Each structure stands twice: as structure tokens, then as C-alpha cells.
């Protein structure tokens, strides 16, 4: 048993670090959601911010868009040219995806400074890509409403998770000491 632990020390360390970071960040995020004041930024600050930024981009590219708090559920209604297209819910704000990304990168951590800046830059890339994803999805739903399921359930999750995967692969191949130690 001791031989296996020694042989797979890096794998075990990765799994434990990943689970610890993921657990801590997820608990912290859930506490944030539980105690966020929806009276100022409904339903929570991040979801509200993502909805408003997607709205700004839609208006900048020529659509008459606006967002309003949904009266029946914790979400923001996204309306383009008077047509209610989608709702931006907590799951649309990319925080859970960023937590997943951060957990993986930290589990493969190198130097603190390198890890910190990669986590920061990667989180910004994921966040920005997510806002753009919502804009493209909204335009797609506006022009091709019959493609809703394919756009929302297949294409756009594949793109956002594909981006995270590429960022992970770049991190592992470029910065991670664990892959260099095994080479």
C-alpha cells in the first residue's frame, strides 16, 4: 500500500487539493448567494452584472435590448426589440465554472505569483467569454428561436467548457511543475 501511495503521490495530491479548493470555494459562493442582498442587485450582484453587461453589448451592436428583474423567480429577463427571449439565472454568471477552473489550476500550482496571475487572467477570460456567449445566444434565440435547445444545451456549453479545457491544457503544458517532473 505504501508503494502505491508513493508511486501515485502527485495524483493523490492533485485530487485532494482539487477537492479541498473546490469545496472551500463552492461553500464560500453558496454563502455569498445565501446572504447576498437581492434588494440592491437582484437576484445577486454577479448575475445582475452579467445580465447588464450582456445588455450593454446588445445595445452597442444595434439591438434595442433591456433587462428587468423577473417577477416570479430569481433571474433577470432579457428582452430584445420588445421580445422576451431569455432569463439570466445564477448559473449563467460563470462563477461555478470559474470555481472549477481555479480548483484545477491551484491543484497543479507552480509558483504563487504565476498561479495567481494565471488564475486572475483565466477567470477574466472565462467571464468575458461567458458574457459574449450570452450575447450570441440571445441574438441566436432572437433570429432562430426554433434552435433554442441546440443553442442553449449543446453549442454554448460546449464552447464555454471547451474554453476552460483549453486554458487547463495551456496551464498544464506551459506552467505546471507536475508535468515537468514527470517528463
Percent pLDDT > 90 in the chain is 68
CA distances from 136 to 58, 63, 77, 156, 163 (A): 9, 12, 16, 9, 16
Q: Find which of 4-8, 55-59, 178-182 is predicted with most confidence, using mean pLDDT.
A: 55-59
pTM, full prediction: 0.89
- Range 98-114 burial, b when 16+ CB lie within 10 A, else e: bbbbbbbbbbbbbeeee
pLDDT digit string, tens, across residues 98-155: 999 999 999 988 789 999 999 999 999 999 999 999 999 999 999 999 998 888 888 8
Q: How many helices (H) and strands (E) does the chain have?
A: 8, 3
* Chain mean pLDDT for the chain: 90
At residue 178, the pLDDT reads 53
Taking residues 60-83, what's their average pLDDT?
Answer: 94
pLDDT at residue 126 in the model: 97
Over range 41-46, report the average pLDDT: 91
Q: What is the pLDDT of residue 3?
A: 84
Query: CA-CA distance, 35 to 27, in Å (whole number)?
Result: 12
Percent pLDDT > 70 in the chain is 96
What's the mean pLDDT in 57-74?
Answer: 94
Side-chain half-sphere exposure of 132, counting CA atoms within 13 A: 9
Predicted confidence band at 183 (pLDDT cuts at 50, 70, 90)? Answer: very low
Amino acid at each position: 500500500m505504501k508503494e502505491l501511495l508513493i508511486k501515485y503521490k502527485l495524483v493523490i495530491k492533485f485530487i485532494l487539493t482539487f477537492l479541498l479548493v473546490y469545496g472551500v470555494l463552492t461553500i464560500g459562493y453558496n454563502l455569498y448567494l445565501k446572504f447576498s442582498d437581492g434588494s440592491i442587485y437582484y437576484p445577486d450582484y454577479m448575475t445582475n452584472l452579467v445580465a447588464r453587461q450582456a445588455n450593454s453589448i446588445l445595445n452597442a451592436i444595434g439591438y434595442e435590448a433591456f433587462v428587468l428583474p423577473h417577477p416570479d423567480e430569481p433571474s433577470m429577463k432579457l428582452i430584445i426589440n420588445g421580445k422576451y427571449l431569455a432569463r439570466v439565472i445564477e448559473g449563467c454568471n460563470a462563477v461555478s465554472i470559474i470555481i472549477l477552473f481555479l480548483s484545477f489550476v491551484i491543484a497543479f500550482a507552480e509558483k504563487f505569483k504565476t498561479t495567481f496571475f494565471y488564475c486572475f487572467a483565466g477567470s477574466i477570460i472565462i467571464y468575458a467569454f461567458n458574457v459574449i456567449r450570452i450575447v450570441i445566444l440571445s441574438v441566436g434565440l432572437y433570429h432562430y428561436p426554433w434552435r433554442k435547445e441546440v443553442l442553449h444545451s449543446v453549442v454554448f456549453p460546449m464552447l464555454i467548457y471547451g474554453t476552460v479545457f483549453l486554458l487547463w491544457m495551456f496551464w498544464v503544458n506551459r506552467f505546471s511543475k507536475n508535468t515537468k517532473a514527470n517528463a
